[in-house]
Amino acid sequence: MVPGQNDQNRDQNRRGGEKQDEKEQEKKQEKGRNLDEKYRHNPLGFISWAVLIIWLGVTLLLQNADVISDSDRGWAVFAWGGGVIILAEALLRLVVPKWRRPVVGSFIWGAIWLGVGFGLWYGKWEVIGPIVIIAVGVAVLAGRLVPRR
């Protein structure tokens, strides 16, 4: 072994570690910028997710406080609220030109959430399931038949 070679290796490893730390810091900053950028490009989607999470907390609080005693009915209330939030976002996207984006998927998800809510509330999946599937099919057709701007 050459004298001083260990010192050189340690210096190289230290410099390599510093470069790695710098790269990781840049990635973290980039992720933060990406989140801000996503919010600026899609503030309505960001707000919808936040409201959906708040709604989940509210329904869980109602269940824990025994305002909603049956677990299935509590999840039905959550699903209805989620469906309403998703459909409200889709309607706002249609009304406000600044937020306009394709909304067929949102209408489909909103219909599914509402259908799940009715299925949990009434327990009649053999009737509600096919109705939800029909609603999804109608939404897909409507998305293709309605002329785009």
130-147 confidence digits (pLDDT tens): 888 887 788 778 777 766
Domain count for the chain, please give it. Answer: 2
Residues 51 and 107 in one domain: yes
Residues 20 and 56 in one domain: no
pLDDT, tens digit, 9 for 90 and up, residues 34-93? 656 666 678 888 899 999 999 999 999 999 998 988 888 899 999 999 999 999 999 998
User: Greater confidence, 3 or 66?
Assistant: 66
The two structure tokens encoding residue 90: 């889709």
pLDDT at 149 over 60: no
Q: How confident is the model at residue 27 (pLDDT cuts 50, 70, 90)?
A: low
Residues 93 and 33 in one domain: no
Residues 52 and 16 in one domain: no
Residues 13 and 64 in one domain: no
Residues 30 and 50 in one domain: no
Residues 81 and 22 in one domain: no
**Boundaries of domain holding 12:** 1-41
Residues 123 and 139 in one domain: yes
Give the integer Cα–Cα distance in Å for 84 and 22.
45
78, 56 in Cβ contact below 8 A?
yes
**pTM listed for this prediction:** 0.65
113, 80 in Cβ contact below 8 A?
yes
Residues 63 and 99 in one domain: yes
Residues 139 and 87 in one domain: yes
Residues 28 and 53 in one domain: no
